[in-house]
Structures are given as structure tokens and as C-alpha cells.
Amino acid sequence: MEVIYEGTIKKENKHKRYEVRKLIFEDLTAVLQVQEQVIHHLTDKGVLQPLTKEEFQFILEGNGLMIGAFVSDELIAFRALLAPPIDGEHLGRDFGLMESELPKVIYQEISNVLPAYRGNKLQQTLATLIMKELNKRKSPYRYVCCTVAPFNIPSLKDKFAQGMEIAALKEKYGGQLRYIFVKELSVVDVSPWQEIQIIEMNDIESQQGFIANGWRGFKMEEREGKHLVYYGSKRRVNK
């Protein structure tokens, strides 16, 4: 398979070469094994919504894109994009897209890195690479969306680093609270936020109130042991 990237990472104070390539159906077993190890090491299992074998298979059969990082022949990390079905749970509905726009949405699905290789910014590297691969295709997609659990700090940092914004905060997956992130592809908005509010991450009601009024979450930080989310509005408000 074609190698799309090569780099160096550290494991136990030793540098190792790794390469990234697109994943194919024959990689499914390795993908499931990586996911299993990641779940095993989670302190809070609720922060990750794992994919089933059938869901991975659906992507690998052409309904999206997956790439993986390998050290020698061992899969150590992967990232997935999913072309979702147009159903009642479609994320585009959660932030107000019209029905005609829903086919233009692709999901940033699960991203897993083996615990032994964390701290090498593999998640961010794979995010950059998979979006580059998507852009090489003549795809119909205009929006990339995903869900992240509150207090899943690594994933939240990953999404903000990509320029994604919180567009909704609601229950998904049978009652689990999730931020819904979105980014409009090929659009660079450099206009400043007209107003900014900083809200503690555990203040769900306040966040939902600002989102309902058209504000977007665009940044987070930790201050004095508290996780804070920055919300901005680009609408001019008469005072």
C-alpha cells in the first residue's frame, strides 16, 4: 500500500520510525485490537463511543476513509472519516442544517492511539493527514462534524486545534451528553468574535443557553483546576 507519510516517534526513550497509509479491509482485525487496548486503559469508559466491527467494516468498504500509523508491521494508531447515512440521528440536524445540506456532511469518527505511543501528537498528525487525503478527492463534502464527551480533554484539544467549533451540546447515543463540533471545509473565517463568554465546562445549562442563541465554542483552557470553554458570537448585539 502507498505510504502517505513517514515520521519519528518516541517510545520508552527510544526513537522509532513510523509510516502512515490508508487502511483497507484486511486491516480490520488490527483496528479492533487497537480499539480494545485503548478502551481497556480508559479510566472513564464513558468518554469514548467505540465503533462496532460492522461500523468499521462499513467505512472500509468505501463509506469513508481510514488511515493508520504503523511501527514495522504493528498498527499503533488510526483515524477514521465516515460518510453517514441520512437518518434521524444525523449530526447536521443538531445544529440546524437544511435537509438538502445533510449529504454534504462527513463525520470525523473515532481516533485511537495505543497507550504506549501517547504524547507524540499522533492524533493531531493523523487529523491533518486524513483531511489532506479527503481534499485530494473530488468529494461532495462541505462540513466535517464529530461528537466529543465533556471532559474528554485530549479529544477536545484535538478538535479545537483543527479549528472546529462547538455547535451543539446535547444527549446522543442513548442519553450520553456530547459536544457536537463542526467545521466548514475550504472556508477560512478570520473575522473576530464580537463578544466572548467564558463558561466552566461543568455548567451545561449556561453553555446550552449561549449555543441556542447562536454562539459557538471555539477554545478551551484549564485555569486553577477548572476547565473553561470560550464561546463567541459574531452577531453584533445592540446594547
Place of cell 460518510: 83
Largest CA distance in the chain: 61
Residue range 78-90: mean pLDDT, rounded: 94
What is the chain's Cα-based Rg?
A: 18
Asked whether the predicted pLDDT for residue 142 surpasses 80, the reply is yes
At 46 the pLDDT is: 66
Residue range 126-130: mean pLDDT, rounded: 94
Residue range 59-85: mean pLDDT, rounded: 95
Top mean-pLDDT range of 109-113, 184-188, 205-209, 233-237: 205-209
At 122 the pLDDT is: 93
What SS3 string covers the chain?
CCEEEEEEEEECCEEEEEEEEECCHHHHHHHHHHHHHHHHCCCCHHHCCCCCHHHHHHHHCCCEEEEEEEECCEEEEEEEEECCCCCCCCHHHHCCCCHHHHHHEEEEEEEEECHHHCCCCHHHHHHHHHHHHHHHCCCCCCEEEEEECCCCHHHHHHHHHCCCEEEEEEEECCCEEEEEEEEECCCCCCCCCCEEEEEECCCHHHHHHHHHCCCEEEEEEEECCEEEEEEEECCCCCC
Q: 164-179 pLDDT, tens per residue?
A: 999 999 999 888 999 9
Residue range 145-163: mean pLDDT, rounded: 92
pLDDT top residue among 234 and 162: 162
Measure Cα distances from 139 to 69, 106, 159, 206 in Å. 24, 10, 22, 37
Residues 6+ apart with CB under 8 A from 56: 28, 31, 32, 66, 80
Asked whether the predicted pLDDT for residue 188 surpasses 70, the reply is yes
Cross-strand bridge partners of residue 104: none
Q: How far apart are CA 27 and CA 200, in angstroms?
A: 41
pLDDT confidence tier of residue 226, bands split at 50, 70 and 90:
very high
pLDDT confidence tier of residue 235, bands split at 50, 70 and 90:
low
Q: How far apart are CA 180 and CA 149, in angstroms?
A: 9
